[in-house]
Structure 1
Amino acid sequence: MTTSGLGPRRGPEFHIPREPERTTRGAGAYDSRDGKVRLAGRRRWPWYTGAAVLVAAVAVATGVVVGGGSEPEAVPRAPVVAGDLVDVADRVRQGVVSVRAGRASGTGFVIDREWHVLTNHHIVEGAGEVSVTAPDGSRVAATLVGSDEDSDLAVLRIEAVPSLVALPLGSSAAVRVGEQVLAVGSPLGLSGTVTSGIVSAVDRRVRIGGERQDALQTDASINPGNSGGPLVNARGEVIGVNTAIATFEGGGSIGIGFAIPIDRAADVAERIVD
């Protein structure tokens, strides 16, 4: 398996032993010449596995555990975070922009009131002119403040766009596996696209930029053009920067995407701005 940015085939690489037929591509700049997507096969499970799952589900639903004791015990229930994802998606989209850098395109999002936009390095790398398009369709020139190839992050600065808002940054250290998330970006040039999923892993080791680093793994659909876009939690807080995906034979999303944790991304962005 290999990984690369969601765009030109120059993104990070990721290898998993004994699965050479799988490839991964970063979530970088959109290129219309991308290959086809192949679906993974299905695995059949024995009937008794389904029966065991059914029994476990009934136990959880009734709030008891069947065991050797004489009295049933209450099952601890995880707190449920209520949130209107429609409202969250609407709010987050107001801070996300499409990024155009030469022939490459991707996504970015506003991170402060100084109109700084965080995106991926591989989108703006080597580009002479960079511009961003806001959700209302207004397009403005962007200045490259700086970038970090090793972390695959870059910061742009734009003139004030009244319709844009800065997105609140969460804490990737507090992210838990199974947490519901939304990915917002411009896959295949389709700006303002929102996809949903969960956090699949919080410490997946992949090659991003010039080094191997821990990344958040998600099954939210991410494709070329999503690079640089935010991965947000159910409260609308950014917890990661979508950067790479796993694919079969260079195709599109197969439900394995990777995001740079926002704690690390925010530190890099602050260092670039300073």
Structure 2
Amino acid sequence: MSPGDPENPADPEDEEIRRLVLEAQREALLKERTEAAPRRGPSLGTKAMIWIISLTMVVSTFAFVLELFPLSAVDFLRTSAQLSQQETVQAQKESVVSVVTPDGSGTGFIISEDGTILTNHHVIDGYDRVSVVLPDDRRFMADVTESYPESDMAVLEAEDESGLPSLELADAYRLQEGDPVTFIGNPLSFRGVANKGKVIGPVRVSGMEEPVIMMEAPVYRGNSGSPVLDAEGLVAGIVFATLNHEVEGTVGLFVPVDELYRQRRDNE
């Protein structure tokens, strides 16, 4: 009778052994074929696609960085690092603050040790109370006590502060064309960036009652409210905007300190 005859059944153990042997042979043969076959890497087309995707990602990232920080902005960081080595500039930076509202932030600077702060009107526009951040990250609240939208200037008063570092205002604007200036602010999300420029001269701009001053200097978004300092370290004005001038090109604009004195006299 054959092993499969139901009247003479095969030994189950023999059948199991036979099955295991055949399975082991199949596995060995499959392993031998797999090891003998050469490993194939990505095809040329696949490699090319990977390179294209990688290159696209690099270009996109570089373009995004350029959108945030133009190449010309790199020089102003280098200049700031050089200026910041001077003890005078280091001391001046201690008085420059960030003025923060729910709409964003700008620059301001302390002009009295009890916390009087000068900034732009457009930085605090719409708010009577704002947050102030010192260079050491200490924060306090300040009230808007003077507001001069026609000169884009505002004065803040801190609560219960004393002994703060401060800058001194010049008693009058005396700068001439070509005079050097420095200014310190918080441009392009950086903080306490010092930079330099030179005076060009007065210009009339829309929305301002009196002429403002053009300067050849790298002014960027966030510099609004930066103090403009003369060679003696006195505040000669306050940065408020840039202008694409038909002759001078792109220039920074600042309101001369005289305008603060005039506004205060007119509002007494």
TM-score under structure 2 normalisation? 0.62
> How far did 1:114 drift?
3.8
Correspondence for 1:86 = 86
> How far did 1:269 drift?
5.3
> How far did 1:140 drift?
0.9
Q: What are the ranges of 5 or more consecutive residues in structure 1 without an aligned counterpart?
A: 1-33, 40-82, 249-253
Correspondence for 2:120 = 120
> How far did 1:240 drift?
0.6
Correspondence for 1:104 = 104
Question: Which residue among 238, 241, 244 is the counterpart of 2:241?
Answer: 244
Correspondence for 1:264 = 259
Instruction: Report if aligned partners of 2:113, 2:162 keep a CA contact under 8 Å in 1.
Output: no
Q: Looking at CA atoms only, which structure, 1 or 2, has the larger radius of gyration?
A: 2
* Cα distance change on mapping 1:85 and 1:265 into 2, 3 Å: farther
Write the distance in 2 (CA, Å) between the matches of 1:131 and 1:117. 12
Write the distance in 2 (CA, Å) between the matches of 1:132 and 1:188. 18
* Cα distance change on mapping 1:265 and 1:35 into 2, 3 Å: farther
> How far did 1:183 drift?
1.1
The residue type paired with residue 251 of structure 2 is I
Write the distance in 1 (CA, Å) between the matches of 2:116 and 2:265. 10
Write the distance in 2 (CA, Å) between the matches of 1:267 and 1:114. 23
Write the distance in 2 (CA, Å) between the matches of 1:182 and 1:85. 14
* Cα distance change on mapping 1:146 and 1:172 into 2, 3 Å: closer
The residue type paired with residue 124 of structure 2 is V
The residue type paired with residue 238 of structure 1 is V
In structure 1, the residue corresponding to 2:157 is in which secondary structure?
A: strand
Instruction: Report if aligned partners of 1:91, 1:236 keep a CA contact under 8 Å in 2.
Output: no
Return 154-163 or 238-247, whichever deviates more.
154-163
Write the distance in 1 (CA, Å) between the matches of 2:124 and 2:231. 30
* Cα distance change on mapping 1:131 and 1:205 into 2, 3 Å: same
* Cα distance change on mapping 1:271 and 1:211 into 2, 3 Å: same
Task: List per-residue Cα deviations over 1:79-132 (Å, max 9, x = no partner).
Answer: xxxx99823311211211111011221011112244211111111111365101
Identity of aligned residues (%): 31
Correspondence for 1:197 = 197
More strand per residue: 1 or 2? Answer: 1
In structure 1, the residue corresponding to 2:188 is in which secondary structure?
A: helix
Instruction: Report if aligned partners of 1:118, 1:228 keep a CA contact under 8 Å in 2.
Output: yes
Write the distance in 2 (CA, Å) between the matches of 1:181 and 1:85. 17
Instruction: Report if aligned partners of 1:133, 1:140 keep a CA contact under 8 Å in 2.
Output: yes
The residue type paired with residue 132 of structure 2 is V
1:140 and 2:140 matched? yes
Correspondence for 1:77 = none
More helix per residue: 1 or 2? Answer: 2
Instruction: Report if aligned partners of 2:107, 2:226 keep a CA contact under 8 Å in 1.
Output: yes
Write the distance in 2 (CA, Å) between the matches of 1:219 and 1:176. 13
Write the distance in 1 (CA, Å) between the matches of 2:108 and 2:99. 6
The residue type paired with residue 142 of structure 1 is A
The residue type paired with residue 260 of structure 2 is A
